[in-house]
Structure 1
Amino acid sequence: MNSPNSMPKSVRRAPWRKVVFALVGIAVMVLVFAFLFPQFGDYQTALTKVAAMGPWWIAALGAASLANIIIYPFTGIAAIPKLSYRASFVSRQSGFLLSNVVPGGGAVAVATQYAILAKYGVNTARAAAAVSADAVFTYLFTFGTPAIALLLLNINGKSAAAYNVLAIVGLIVVIVSLIGVIIILRSEDGARRIGAFASKPIGAIFTKLKKPTPDITGSLVTFHTQASEMVATRWPQLAAANFGAQLAPMGVLIVALAGLGAFPGDLTFLEVFATFSIALLLTAVPLTPGGLGTVDAALVALLIGFGLDSSTAIAADLIWRLAWFLPQLLVGLGALGLYWWDRRRQQRGHRLVDESLT
């Protein structure tokens, strides 16, 4: 396990790889926003619809955005019960910023959260368990919700045949993953068996790529050691907090659609849920920061597929990005500033360790 102040090896990429990764991300965003979206509809018409939103809807968007920001840190408190909201806020919002701005920022965000939690009095093992448990629930949510949404659509007589294969694949992934996670968490022997089983196909892939094979078994045993007790005792709180944090951005999207007059008239709740959850799958493929471009293209295409006109779909996506993504990035920047301020206070003799953990 890395120390709180060290960076995982995956973060230390060759400079040229970072440049290539960034260029690919920029190219994808330009392709989507400059070439693909104009095929769907006119930007001017979309912006006109945005400008026509009344002040009450602007206020509602602000409230939904604020709720999203407030809810997000509770995932840290769910994992570490005595952690203060301030410490969790700084850790989680800083992690959101780095994972969505820095190329390959997931590993950087994890290392940063370790360092921040350590400064607030959380030991390395506990911090690692919290971050690992959060990652598991996020993964299960990302792959599980599309299947749930499309199943509910079919039950309610809504045609979603074009996405049924995706739903089935997602459901299989979630079931297999859930069984694997349960086996890993129950015993170290189970973690070793899953690791040995997974090492063969993963090793073959890395061999073909001419890269060193990662220690899958060792990583799973470490995960068992770090997270088994926490997940066993805190899983209801972890599930509830992550469910709220993952769905809060959808709340912003619903308000945006309602402000544009598209919800609940043109779209049902289940259709919005399916749109959001399927588009969210693309965040698992980090081609661009925060899924910019890729998630947006999927979101707009799905909204149009469910019957929304193209200009309103583009307007909803633009509002969603401006009311959800941008504010949380700015809050993340503020969280890093707050952490810097707290460290300065610590250097001047003030106690930074979270008193609730002592």
Structure 2
Amino acid sequence: MMNGARQRRVIVTVLSGTLTTALVVFLPRAVGATWSAVGAVLGQLSFGSVAVLAVVWIAGLWSHSFVLAASLPGLSKRRGLTLSLTGSAVANVLPLGGAAGTALNFAMIRRWGFSSTAFGGFLAVTTLVNVASKLGVIAVALGLVPILHSMSVFGAESLLFVPVPLVALVAVWILVDERVAVGIGSGLDKAIGLVRPSRLRERIPRHRTSMLRVLRAGWRAMAAGMVAYLGLQFALLWLCFQALGIPLSLPVLLTGLAVERLLTLVPVTPGGAGVVEVGTSAALVSLGGDPAGVAAGLLLFRGFTYLMEIPVGGVLLAIWSWLQRRTPSQSNQLDSVAG
């Protein structure tokens, strides 16, 4: 008989999978289209267009590897790319898979000789940079509201995501002022101390110092890598619609990308599957997009940014796991192939 924890995991997995499937299946109907109409649009896609889209997708991932490498001094860009794809592969198939992806990345980082403290700093920096980049895209899209009259796409539901920027602001405040780091650590120690001992008053300032050291040394590479990554993600979105012959203006597509970033801030389903497609498609349709064309374009875009990460990351994970079973000398010689 399954224990309580395992039973809860199974229930969450089934519910999450059911929700994801239902959202994807009913995507066309949610925006006023049919699967036959969406299929007809996707049928226009050529092999050459797919190849171009794949190159842009890979270039975006490579750009993001600069961010990861700068966040952990000593990490190569190839290993950063491996971390990104393997972690995403796990996160995209498991409910609340972000934790499982993080655990996998921790195991890989430790195997490559980095300390758990270094990984903690890496995780904090990359999380902060990724959240800040998503909020930046959303801020640019909000600046287009007077032109596009697009405030409706950032409806009342957006208030559910308010805690995310608030947490990001607190993180920045901690980085700016050491006294804030000590104060928040002390407050958390008192709250957590009611359940178990806590030493966050010491740990938060220590992590702050480590993060500042990494940010000061690598902020240029992080900024350049993230700007290039976001630019290539936007280019990929635009090319997806161009490949299908769907005319949408750049400001409208930028707003769509912002909605997509917003919906991935707190993934309800693995990788936000279903929720992102329905929400972003609805936003683009409300801005004048053809329902079938919008649904097809979004499915194509997410086919690269979500679906393709699963098999590619899975293959890299299989290679890495195979290498770990070899003798230490062989593993060290071959490890560079996977990382």
Q: How far, CA to CA, are the matches of 1:214 and 1:326 in structure 2?
A: 42
Task: State the partner residue of 1:124.
Answer: 116
Q: Gaps spanning 5+ residues in structure 2: where?
A: none
Which of the residues 249, 253, 264 maps onto 1:283? Answer: 264
Task: State the partner residue of 1:184.
Answer: 174
Task: State the partner residue of 1:103.
Answer: 95
Between 245-254 and 24-33, report the one with greater CA deviation: 245-254
Cα 1:68–1:301 shift into 2, 3 Å: same
Q: Indicate whether 1:223 and 2:207 are aligned.
A: yes
CA contact (8 A) 1:64 1:255 kept: no
1:118-267 alignment, distance < 5 Å: 118-154=110-146, 157-163=147-153, 176-177=166-167, 179-195=169-185, 217=200, 220-221=204-205, 223-262=207-246, 266-267=247-248
Q: How far, CA to CA, are the matches of 1:22 and 1:350 in structure 2?
A: 35
CA contact (8 A) 2:132 2:168 kept: yes
Residue type of the partner of 1:258?
A: Q
Post-superposition offset of 1:348: 5.2
Residue identity over aligned pairs, in percent, reads: 22
Task: State the partner residue of 1:318.
Answer: 299
Post-superposition offset of 1:170: 10
Task: State the partner residue of 1:16.
Answer: 7
Cα 1:187–1:73 shift into 2, 3 Å: same
Task: State the partner residue of 1:4.
Answer: none
Cα 1:122–1:246 shift into 2, 3 Å: farther
Q: How far, CA to CA, are the matches of 1:147 and 1:166 in structure 2?
A: 16
Residue type of the partner of 1:316?
A: G
Cα 1:350–1:64 shift into 2, 3 Å: closer
Cα 1:328–1:216 shift into 2, 3 Å: farther
Q: Indicate whether 1:336 and 2:327 are aligned.
A: no
Q: How far, CA to CA, are the matches of 1:117 and 1:300 in structure 2?
A: 37
Q: How far, CA to CA, are the matches of 2:7 and 2:54 in structure 1?
A: 40
Post-superposition offset of 1:121: 2.5
Cα 1:354–1:66 shift into 2, 3 Å: closer
CA contact (8 A) 1:75 1:245 kept: no
Q: How far, CA to CA, are the matches of 1:35 and 1:172 in structure 2?
A: 28
Listed one character per residue, the Cα deviations across residues 247-278 of structure 1 (whole Å, up to 9, x for unaligned) are 5443322111111222xxx3221211111111
Q: Indicate whether 1:35 and 2:21 are aligned.
A: no
User: What RMSD, in angstroms, separates the aligned Cα atoms of the two structures?
Assistant: 3.4
Between 90-99 and 176-185, report the one with greater CA deviation: 176-185
Q: Indicate whether 1:25 and 2:6 are aligned.
A: no
Q: How far, CA to CA, are the matches of 2:196 and 2:43 in structure 1?
A: 53
TM-score, length basis structure 2: 0.83
Task: State the partner residue of 1:66.
Answer: 58
- How many residues align? The count is 331
Residue type of the partner of 1:190?
A: V
Residue type of the partner of 1:63?
A: V
Q: How far, CA to CA, are the matches of 1:346 and 1:242 in structure 2?
A: 37
Residue type of the partner of 1:269?
A: L
Cα 1:254–1:284 shift into 2, 3 Å: same
Residue type of the partner of 1:322?
A: G
